[in-house]
Chain A
Amino acid sequence: MSSVAQLHWRHPPPVEAPCPTDRQKVIRLGVSADLTGIGRDNFKRTPLYMVWAHLLGSLPPINNASIAEKGGFSPTYCTLMNARACFRGVNRPHDTEDGGDSVYIYVLKIAATLRNDQKNAMVCPIGTYLVPPQNVFTVQVRLNASLQKPVDELDGLVTRIEPVAGEAPSHALPVGHATRYAEQCW
């Protein structure tokens, strides 16, 4: 088997996203080692499964991963191009910044996701989970200008993906989004 053409689930390809400052433009983002677990002995699989399903729009390329769909449910396959909103600034210390101004947050509405599931461990430890409808997913991104080590030929990095509570009544945006982020880009 050639290793050149092999997709490895811990080496996801670049993710496409609408540009925070111009939604019509597309930027390309790498996936942080915080999510891939590269160089770590101990890392959580669930967020990387989410990266594949919700940022790359597919099951992770793991043998028998399709067992996740055996229960009659599929995870929501989408990408950041489906983001409902984008915010800039996390209003808190972040790395060397007092206000985390360089952090961008994309918001996704996800109906079903993937998680680490030891019930299927004999085949593949992955399962589909129906996300409670009051939740949304936030995806944190840092653009190259803010990174100490810019990512070659890419515009930045995806650093986190998190399910958070959505603000009532629509549950379309994170709770407290008006104060927890500096500004809404779109």
Chain B
Amino acid sequence: MTERDRMSDIDSAAAGSYEPAAIYYGDSDCLEYVREDDFCIYERVDEYLTLIKDAEGENLIGFKLKGFKNRIHKLKPQLELNDRQFLYVMSAIESICTELGDLLFADENRSKAYKAAYKLAENDNVILDRREFGTRELIAA
């Protein structure tokens, strides 16, 4: 067997191409939205939110919502009223902001970060396909 035979082709397993979408990562329990499949810097804001910036660390290209399974539990009443297939990620950000309340406005940088993530979610119409999160998790949450 030659060295080349031991290699896989990049698309031999239906790798597909990346399209911006909210993706739930179950093993690390976070929801991530990022516009590009490229090197990016993860900038922690607090225990719930991380901003994702471009390689220069200047432009916002995404965000990560942490502890998302826990968040879904809090959004459950809203989800039960909404039988659509998609969940607007803005709702999850709103839920965190509601929980933080005055703490959010006491810290200008934190407040700006949440506003930036919310604006990105709104402008890019970031939605989570329930199938992405998994029906079982939604029921069990």
Residues of A within 8 A of B (CB): 1-2, 5-10, 32-34, 37, 40-46, 61-63, 65, 90-96, 100, 103, 113, 115-116, 124-125, 129, 131-132, 135, 140, 142, 147, 157, 159-160, 162-165, 174-176, 180
Q: Known: A10-B15, A42-B19, A94-B67. Contact between A129 and B25, CB under 8 A?
A: no
- CB-CB contacts of B1-36 with A at 8 A, as 1s and 0s? 100111111101111101101010111110000100
Chain B: minimal CB distance from A133 (Å): 12
Contact check, A45 vs B15: say whether CB atoms are below 8 A apart. Answer: yes
Q: Which of B42-50, B83-91, B117-125 contacts the other chain?
A: B42-50
Alpha-carbon distance A163/B56, docked complex (angstroms)? 12
Contact check, B25 vs A135: say whether CB atoms are below 8 A apart. Answer: no
What is the predominant secondary structure among interface residues of chain A facing chain B?
A: loop
Contact check, B39 vs A140: say whether CB atoms are below 8 A apart. Answer: no
In the complex, what residues of B have CB within 8 A of residue A135's CB? 41
Alpha-carbon distance A175/B57, docked complex (angstroms)? 14
A-B residue pair count with CB separations less than 8 angstroms: 127
What is the predominant secondary structure among interface residues of chain B facing chain A?
A: loop
Alpha-carbon distance A32/B27, docked complex (angstroms)? 7
Contact check, A116 vs B25: say whether CB atoms are below 8 A apart. Answer: no
Contact check, B41 vs A140: say whether CB atoms are below 8 A apart. Answer: no
Contact check, B7 vs A34: say whether CB atoms are below 8 A apart. Answer: no
Chain A: minimal CB distance from B127 (Å): 14
Q: Known: A6-B5, A63-B8, A165-B43. Contact between A159 and B15, CB under 8 A?
A: no
Contact check, A176 vs B18: say whether CB atoms are below 8 A apart. Answer: no
Contact check, B1 vs A42: say whether CB atoms are below 8 A apart. Answer: no
